[in-house]
């Protein structure tokens, strides 16, 4: 009911801190988000659990008692549920801390939805400052989704979510009269050839089983029907499931652009903003969590995904440094009309999913390290 976005999550963080203190859970100093630690029998090795806490800049359309009270902001991606699941797990683990084999780190992270680079990268630095990074043997995160029925858990191996890169291209030629094309260098023509050339590149140079998206979102050129455009501006996005493919596509795009400009007598500039890395989970740890999920809810309710997701998660920064697991918690319920997808103004979840997620996090954290 009180969503906050980006790094502006101070009230949410205060609420979480108050809860952890009331549970008797130790807090670690952090300049971003909230970090708690539950002491187990061994402080040489530990496990970490992460929940994102930020919302989205979106006006909620749900007519429910718990709808957002903040105009233009809502929890349209389930992060309030992620926070609730980790708080529930924290309560269970703290109550049973005498039985924990090792310490458990609780990470409540802002800015998963941005601004770039998001909160995960900064919280990674906080863990480093506390000299915890080398001690953490695994880190786990959950994500609620209405793609799967409430009571289901879905997970996969290897790459789980895509990298995110953005590009802006400016092509500069020589403008002039359409009746004198030989005295011009048409920037729009070059831009069109680049776009179609990249479509050919993606279909012929990329393995069809290597999920990759090169998408042009905008093309702006020209001011009148009878003027050859001097300048063309292109912007778009690249999403990949492999870091090797990421570099190959960006290199190929610039090679094609340079060749077209050299041939046509135009020039170009390209600005590439490297975004989030590919989220790659640890297969051994994922096998562990899959086995635990089968024990908790029955093997018929555990889905092994055949394909990765072309969405993105800044949890990828944590997964680069720590063996990670990332699973989807089903929260769909057609009878209650809980069917709308994430980032929709009508997104909502079946709250019975929360106990599933909290139980899984508790069980994962209790594993011997």
Give the other-Cβ count within 10 Å of 90's Cβ. Answer: 26
d(CA 90, CA 35): 12
Q: Is 180 exposed, middle or buried (0-12, 13-18, 19+ CB in 10 A)?
A: exposed
Per-residue model confidence (pLDDT) at position 369: 75
Per the structure block, which two tokens stand in for 144?
A: 């609620």
Known catalytic residues? 54, 112
Phi-psi region of 105 (alpha: psi -120 to 50; beta: other; left: phi over 0): beta
d(CA 190, CA 194): 6
Instruction: Give CA 313 to chain center in angstroms.
Output: 1
**Chain segment 9-24, per-residue pLDDT in tens:** 999 999 999 999 999 9
Cα first-last separation, the chain:
38
- Which domains, and CATH codes, for the chain? 10-161+278-365 (3.40.630.10), 165-274 (3.30.70.360)
Query: Residues 150-155: what's their mean pLDDT?
Result: 98
pLDDT band at 368; cut points 50, 70, 90 = confident
Residue percentage of the chain with pLDDT more than 70: 100
Give the other-Cβ count within 10 Å of 293's Cβ. Answer: 25
**Chain segment 302-360, per-residue pLDDT in tens:** 999 998 999 999 999 999 999 999 999 999 999 999 999 999 999 999 999 999 999 99
**Chain segment 251-287, per-residue pLDDT in tens:** 999 999 999 999 999 999 999 999 999 999 999 999 9
Strands in 26-28's sheet, in edge-to-edge order, are: 26-28, 34-38, 103-109, 46-52, 136-149, 324-332, 153-155, 302-304
CB 161 within 8 A of CB 275: no
Average pLDDT, the chain: 97
Q: What is the pTM of this model?
A: 0.93
Q: Is 26 exposed, middle or buried (0-12, 13-18, 19+ CB in 10 A)?
A: middle
């Amino acid at each position: 009911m009180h969503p906050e976005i980006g790094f502006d999550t101070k009230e949410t963080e205060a609420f979480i801190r108050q809860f952890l203190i009331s549970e008797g859970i130790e807090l670690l100093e952090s300049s971003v988000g909230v970090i708690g630690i539950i002491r187990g029998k061994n402080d040489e090795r530990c496990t970490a659990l992460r929940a994102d806490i930020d919302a989205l800049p979106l006006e909620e359309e749900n007519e429910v008692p718990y709808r957002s009270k903040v105009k233009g902001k809502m929890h349209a991606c389930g992060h309030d549920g992620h926070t609730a699941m980790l708080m529930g797990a924290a309560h269970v683990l703290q109550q049973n801390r005498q039985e924990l084999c090792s310490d458990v780190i609780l990470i409540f992270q802002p800015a998963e939805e941005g601004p770039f680079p998001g909160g995960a990268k900064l919280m990674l630095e906080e863990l480093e400052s506390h000299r915890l990074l080398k001690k953490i043997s695994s880190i786990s995160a959950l994500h609620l989704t209405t793609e799967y029925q409430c009571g289901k858990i879905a997970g996969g191996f290897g790459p789980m979510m895509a990298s995110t890169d953005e590009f802006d291209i400016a092509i500069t030629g020589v403008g002039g009269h359409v009746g004198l094309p030989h005295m011009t260098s048409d920037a729009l023509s070059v831009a069109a050839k680049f776009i179609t050339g990249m479509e050919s590149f993606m279909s012929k140079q990329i393995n069809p089983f290597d999920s990759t998206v090169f998408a042009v979102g905008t093309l702006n050129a020209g001011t009148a029907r009878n003027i050859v455009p001097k300048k063309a501006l292109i912007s778009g996005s690249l999403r990949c499931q492999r870091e090797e493919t990421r570099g190959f596509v960006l290199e190929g795009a610039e090679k094609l652009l340079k060749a077209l400009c050299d041939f046509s007598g135009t020039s170009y500039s390209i600005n590439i903003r490297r975004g989030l890395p590919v989220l790659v989970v640890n297969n051994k740890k994922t096998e562990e969590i899959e086995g635990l999920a089968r024990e908790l809810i029955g093997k018929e309710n555990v889905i092994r995904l055949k394909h990765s997701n072309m969405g993105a998660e800044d949890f990828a920064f944590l997964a680069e440094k720590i063996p990670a697991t990332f699973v989807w918690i089903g929260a769909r319920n057609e009878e209650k009309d809980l069917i709308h997808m994430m980032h929709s103004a009508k997104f909502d979840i079946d709250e019975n999913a929360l106990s599933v997620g909290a139980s899984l996090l508790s069980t994962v954290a209790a594993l011997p390290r």
